[in-house]
Structure 1
Amino acid sequence: MSQEIDIDPNAYTLPFSLTKTIRRDPYPAILPSNPSNSQAGKIILITGGGTGIGSSAARVWAHASALGIIILGRRIEPLEETALQIRAINAETKVLVIKTDVSIDDEVKHVFQQTHKVFGRGPDVVLLCAAVLEPSRLVHEMGADEWWGYMAINSKGVYSCIHHYINTQSNPAHPTGTIVVMNSASTSILDIQHPANGIGKLSAQRLVEFVDASYPTLRIFSLLPGLVATPSQQPQNLPYARDDPAMSGMLTLYLSQARADYLRGSTMSVNWDVEELEQFQKEIREKNLLKLSWIPILPIGGGKGLAM
């Protein structure tokens, strides 16, 4: 006779919690129906827009009255299905579907050129969801070319999208707009079975900080989606994967507003309550609380070295 095992659904969420309130479902402050989150007149471009979090985000932006939604992905069928769902939600939202492999730089360049051609301008917001999780393997079990192939999507693809978004603007030295890079809490642990995912995501997180420091007129954020029961989710995580996939899209509604400027260049999580965060925005901004630090014991990182 099988016996059910009680689990704490927040077991893998609590270690990454920041606010007292843990959010795993949509709440009023981030809903697309909240008038403050309206995206009327705005255009968003979403990589990985045919499935999972990217597809959910596209639907969220349709509910928020977006002027245009561009969705990219390697498979045309799920992109077209998502496009149908967007049109069913909001017939006034213009949808552009482009089959794209973000690891191929020329294809990414074409996307931004095509966006300007169709809409007459670039997107206001770029949401980078395209990612891949390699099979569980140690370093000696995966050749360099295969490893680099995963890195090409998780790291190079992010760089390529940011690069061409900036370079198709009228003044690339002073770009504007908002970029949200979907990341993963796996960057915080040594998951030895997935070295390409961990390293690729960590490099993307650091890239967000570099771009933020380089372009004061451009808004950029790193966003953790929580644990979502997507097809790519690891089986052992499924009992804990209870975060609503739409929350990432809803958080981009928040991040696209000036009220979120205290998080620029930082990492944000869907599990953190935005209204609680705002109470600490001065401290978050001035102390860089949500940015990476390197070997904090060293003086350059604010440490005092080893006690002698």
Structure 2
Amino acid sequence: MSQEIDIDPNAYTLPFSLTKTIRRDPYPAILPSNPSNSQAGKIILITGGGTGIGSSAARVWAHASALGIIILGRRIEPLEETALQIRAINAETKVLVIKTDVSIDDEVKHVFQQTHKVFGRGPDVVLLCAAVLEPSRLVHEMGTDEWWGYMAINSKGVYSCIHHYINTQSNPAHPTGTIVVMNSASTSILDIQHPANGIGKLSAQRLVEFVDASYPTLRIFSLLPGLVATPSQQPQNLPYARDDPAMSGMLTLYLSQARADYLRGSTMSVNWDVEELEQFQKEIREKNLLKLSWIPILPIGGGKGLAM
């Protein structure tokens, strides 16, 4: 007779929880029905917008009264299905569907040109959800071209979207708007069986910091979606994958506001309570608590040894 094993659904969430309150479901501060989160008059562009977190985010923004939603993806069928769902939620929201492979630079460039053509301007917010998780393999088992192909989506695709978003603005040297890059807590561990995903996501996280430092007028964030039961989720994680997929879209409502400026260039998680986090915004900003650091002991002042 089989015996059920009790599991703690927060076993993988608690170690990464920065706030005492752990959020795994929508709550009032981030709901699209909250008047402070209204996106009336705003346009959002979402990569990976046909499925999973990207599709959920598109529906969230429809509920938040967005003026326009542009959804991108490599497969047209799920994009069209998401577009139907958006229109059912809010008939006033204009939807633009563009079949796009973010690893192909010319296709990304076309997306932003088309957005300007259809809407007369670029998006106010860009949410980068397009990503791929490679099959479990060690370095010697994955060919160079295959590894680079995954990197082209998880790293190059992010760069390409940011690059063309900036360059289609009237003054690329002083761009404006908000960019949210979906990331993963897997960047914090050496997941040796996924050398493309871990490295690609880590480079994207660092890119967020580079862009933030380069363009003071542009708002950019890295966002952790928690553990979501998407089709790409690893089977061993499913018992713990309790985070609502809509929470990432709801957090972008928060991140698009000036009240989130203390997180610019930083990493945020859907599991962290935003109101609790705001109480520590001065410390977060001044100490760069949510940004990457290099080798912990370096720099040490030079020539003083480990016994200093």
Under a length normalisation based on structure 1, what TM-score does the superposition of the two structures give? Answer: 0.98
Residue 54 (structure 1) shift: 0.0
Change in CA separation of 1:240 and 1:305 when aligned onto 2, cut-off 3 Å: farther
**Cα distance in 2, alignment partners of residues 195 and 303 from structure 1:** 35
Change in CA separation of 1:259 and 1:304 when aligned onto 2, cut-off 3 Å: farther
Q: Secondary structure at the residue paired with 2:126? A: strand
**Cα distance in 2, alignment partners of residues 223 and 54 from structure 1:** 13
Residue 298 (structure 1) shift: 1.4
Residue 300 (structure 1) shift: 5.9
Q: Secondary structure at the residue paired with 2:237? A: helix
**Cα distance in 1, alignment partners of residues 114 and 302 from structure 2:** 46
Residue 301 (structure 1) shift: 9.7
Q: Is 2:177 aligned against 1:167?
A: no
Change in CA separation of 1:306 and 1:265 when aligned onto 2, cut-off 3 Å: same
Residue 4 (structure 1) shift: 0.4
Q: Secondary structure at the residue paired with 1:5? A: coil
In the alignment, is the contact (CA less than 8 A) between 1:294 and 1:301 conserved in 2? Answer: no
Change in CA separation of 1:302 and 1:13 when aligned onto 2, cut-off 3 Å: farther
**Cα distance in 1, alignment partners of residues 221 and 180 from structure 2:** 5
Change in CA separation of 1:230 and 1:302 when aligned onto 2, cut-off 3 Å: farther
Residue 271 (structure 1) shift: 0.2
Residue 154 (structure 1) shift: 0.1
Q: What CA deviation, in whole Å up to 9, does each residue of 1:209-258 have, x standing for no partner?
A: 00000000000000000000000000000000000000000000000000
Q: What's 1:11 paired with?
A: 11
Change in CA separation of 1:302 and 1:289 when aligned onto 2, cut-off 3 Å: farther
Q: What CA deviation, in whole Å up to 9, does each residue of 1:107-163 have, x standing for no partner?
A: 000000000000000000000000000000000000100000000000000000000
Q: Secondary structure at the residue paired with 2:199? A: helix
Change in CA separation of 1:113 and 1:304 when aligned onto 2, cut-off 3 Å: farther
Under a length normalisation based on structure 2, what TM-score does the superposition of the two structures give? Answer: 0.98
Q: What CA deviation, in whole Å up to 9, does each residue of 1:240-280 have, x standing for no partner?
A: 00000000000000000000000000000000000000000
Q: Which runs of 5+ in 2 are unaligned?
A: none
Q: Secondary structure at the residue paired with 2:300? A: helix
Q: What CA deviation, in whole Å up to 9, does each residue of 1:65-101 have, x standing for no partner?
A: 0000000000000000000000000000000000000
**Cα distance in 1, alignment partners of residues 197 and 3 from structure 2:** 35
* Aligned ranges 1:211-250 → 2 under 5 Å: 211-250=211-250
Residue 299 (structure 1) shift: 2.6
Over aligned residues, Cα RMSD in angstroms?
Answer: 1.4
Residue 307 (structure 1) shift: 1.9
Residue 306 (structure 1) shift: 1.7
List structure 1 segments (4+ residues) > 4 angstroms apart after TM superposition: 300-305
**Cα distance in 2, alignment partners of residues 67 and 13 from structure 1:** 35
What fraction of aligned residue pairs are identical, expressed as a percent?
100
Q: Secondary structure at the residue paired with 1:98? A: strand
Q: How many residues align?
A: 308
**Cα distance in 1, alignment partners of residues 5 and 303 from structure 2:** 44
Residue 302 (structure 1) shift: 12
Change in CA separation of 1:19 and 1:305 when aligned onto 2, cut-off 3 Å: farther
In the alignment, is the contact (CA less than 8 A) between 1:187 and 1:202 conserved in 2? Answer: yes
Residue 202 (structure 1) shift: 0.1
In the alignment, is the contact (CA less than 8 A) between 1:293 and 1:301 conserved in 2? Answer: no
**Cα distance in 2, alignment partners of residues 303 and 185 from structure 1:** 35
